[in-house]
Chain A
């Protein structure tokens, strides 16, 4: 199960926009997932997640070292296919590391 948090200013508009696109991509790649919406102000202290995608540029970092990706290209509609590719690549890496860790 890939645990993803998607965050923006209010956790509503652009979060929903990005969540829909990432869910589609994860479904097509047949990766089990759960997506949680959040506000940017919350992401510094989030735990038990595999990745955070923020919809706009930010310098906020997570204290538990959860990787953060900036998904602005999904909002702009420019460079979105490249972003999805990169995203899925990292998702697979993380999932692989998890199964190795548990063995």
Chain B
């Protein structure tokens, strides 16, 4: 163990992560050339990322701290975006370890029918719960606490994926898939609650014209122009007392360009990184789709990007961007300034839109109610996540400035788990036991009455019944085959 640790420290994550992924690819029978190329790009992505993030922080962090000092707008947590969060998580030793270990854990859960969903086809999105597991590891100062908490968070992710699968398939019209990105579905409980109220009190649903709305809010979908504008406005407010100086305006314009750069550059850098993991997802997906798997309930985890462009999802997300931005500024106790993840807002409403069956107004209301809570949670964990970022070499050049990801850190469900698993002294055991107990009770209830849960999560009764009928037919088919075989 000690030897491995020295080895890891010596080579660093830019070498270790690609090597681990390369070996993993070979074990999964990915073509050698494809695996090697992917791993190479992964290392390049990791190396480039740290340099770029450091450079951008050098300009942005001091401005944000000036804003805090000069105006009392207390938002010292800079949103560096989900691609940056993914890199930080996978550059950490827990992240690399879980890529391999988690694959085995998921396989085990799937084969024992603990879960209906197979997630490794979406292996990249492990980082969304690994983010919180990394925090557990840092606070408890125990690698194995990190691993175990991660296994548990993964269970929660799969549980939600199982519950949402039919409504996702019905609403988005993709057969046999579900969403395994925690940041996209953590908001679903709010939607379930709102939907229950709407049905209970027979509230009439109002429909909006999505196309018109989308055009009006189109600006919020253009990452670069939005980044530049927000950076400009922030810098002007931060430096309002000496706007007469030429130097001030030089700084203002520089800040605007840098915030624009954050939006523009990450996709290409993270694109390189993701290359290493894509062959794994692709190979597993092909194998699963080839018809070898025959079972009653079966969903494949898929990257949420395929849900993004759906009319209600895209429109709800765009409408929520300015609302959430405004809320983040006026909400007492919030310390996070959504920035790099603002264009990712449509990702963060997938759980809402799915459960509320594509009703834009209801989804916007649910999001407006949910995200303040999520912002508080995010503000609370930012300091620990900043430690995680520093531990993989990210430099934050301004005293007091913190980093987080709006999309990934705003997760009240995992925040509760994080708090319970890091509680002081004996309350920690209590917390761990309580979270596991709640999960097990809910899981048993779900497995006893899938139909009711699926319908509560937004699927129509007809669709669910059809799915159940198909599932039973599949079961009978397997029995028949077994009989023939014997």
Chain B residues with Cβ below 8 Å from A67 are none
- Taken together as a complex, chains A and B put the C-alpha atoms of A96 and B177 apart, in Å, by 38
Write the nearest CB–CB distance from B182 to chain A, whole angstroms.
15
Interface centre among A41, A56, A75 (most CB of B within 10 A): A41
Asked if B449 is an interface residue, CB under 8 A from chain A, the answer is no
Interface centre among A9, A44, A57, A75 (most CB of B within 10 A): A9
- Taken together as a complex, chains A and B put the C-alpha atoms of A45 and B306 apart, in Å, by 20
Band of interface residues on A: 20 to 34
Asked if B173 is an interface residue, CB under 8 A from chain A, the answer is yes
- Taken together as a complex, chains A and B put the C-alpha atoms of A72 and B344 apart, in Å, by 20
- Taken together as a complex, chains A and B put the C-alpha atoms of A56 and B211 apart, in Å, by 18
Q: Which of A34-76 contact B (CB under 8 A)?
A: 37, 39-42, 44-45, 54-60, 72, 75-76
Chain B residues with Cβ below 8 Å from A78 are 289
Please pick, from A17, A40, A59, the residue contacting B308 in the complex, using a CB distance under 8 A.
Answer: A40
Instruction: Determine whether the beta carbon of A37 is less than 8 Å from that of B268.
Output: yes
Instruction: Determine whether the beta carbon of B275 is less than 8 Å from that of A8.
Output: no
Please pick, from B268, B286, B310, the residue contacting A56 in the complex, using a CB distance under 8 A.
Answer: B310
- Taken together as a complex, chains A and B put the C-alpha atoms of A46 and B266 apart, in Å, by 20
Please pick, from B223, B275, B282, the residue contacting A39 in the complex, using a CB distance under 8 A.
Answer: B223
Chain A residues with Cβ below 8 Å from B124 are 13
Chain A residues with Cβ below 8 Å from B218 are 41, 44-45
Asked if B351 is an interface residue, CB under 8 A from chain A, the answer is no
Instruction: Determine whether the beta carbon of A55 is less than 8 Å from that of B314.
Output: no
Q: Which of B240-271 contact A (CB under 8 A)?
A: 267-268, 270-271
Find the A residue at minimum CB distance from B282.
A17
Chain B residues with Cβ below 8 Å from A42 are 221-223
Write the nearest CB–CB distance from A36 to chain B, whole angstroms.
10
Asked if B371 is an interface residue, CB under 8 A from chain A, the answer is no
Instruction: Determine whether the beta carbon of B308 is less than 8 Å from that of A56.
Output: yes
Instruction: Determine whether the beta carbon of B305 is less than 8 Å from that of A57.
Output: no
- Given the contacts A9-B347, A10-B267, A77-B286, A56 and B278 also touching, CB distance less than 8 Å: no
Asked if B83 is an interface residue, CB under 8 A from chain A, the answer is yes
Instruction: Determine whether the beta carbon of A55 is less than 8 Å from that of B306.
Output: yes
Please pick, from B281, B289, B309, the residue contacting A40 in the complex, using a CB distance under 8 A.
Answer: B309
Chain A residues with Cβ below 8 Å from B172 are 57
Chain B residues with Cβ below 8 Å from A11 are 267, 271
Instruction: Determine whether the beta carbon of A41 is less than 8 Å from that of B221.
Output: yes
Chain B residues with Cβ below 8 Å from A41 are 218, 221-223, 314, 318, 343, 346
Instruction: Determine whether the beta carbon of A54 is less than 8 Å from that of B267.
Output: no
Q: Give per-residue flags for B279-309: 1 if the beta carbon is below 8 A from chain A beta carbons, else 0.
A: 0011001100100000000000011111111
Write the nearest CB–CB distance from A27 to chain B, whole angstroms.
14
Asked if B82 is an interface residue, CB under 8 A from chain A, the answer is yes
Instruction: Determine whether the beta carbon of A15 is less than 8 Å from that of B271.
Output: yes
Find the B residue at minimum CB distance from A17.
B278
Instruction: Determine whether the beta carbon of A8 is less than 8 Å from that of B306.
Output: yes
- Given the contacts A44-B218, A78-B289, A37 and B271 also touching, CB distance less than 8 Å: yes
Asked if A14 is an interface residue, CB under 8 A from chain B, the answer is yes
Chain B residues with Cβ below 8 Å from A16 are 271, 274-275, 278
| Known A41-B223, A75-B306; 9 more pairs at CB < 8 Å | A9-B307, A12-B267, A39-B223, A56-B306, A56-B309, A57-B173, A57-B306, A60-B214, A72-B174
A-B contact pairs, 21 of them (CB 8 A): A8-B306, A8-B308, A9-B305, A9-B306, A13-B124, A15-B267, A16-B274, A17-B278, A41-B318, A42-B221, A42-B223, A44-B218, A45-B218, A45-B222, A57-B310, A58-B308, A58-B310, A58-B311, A58-B314, A77-B282, A77-B289
6 smallest CB-CB distances across A and B, nearest first, come from A9-B308, A58-B309, A41-B221, A56-B306, A8-B305, A9-B305
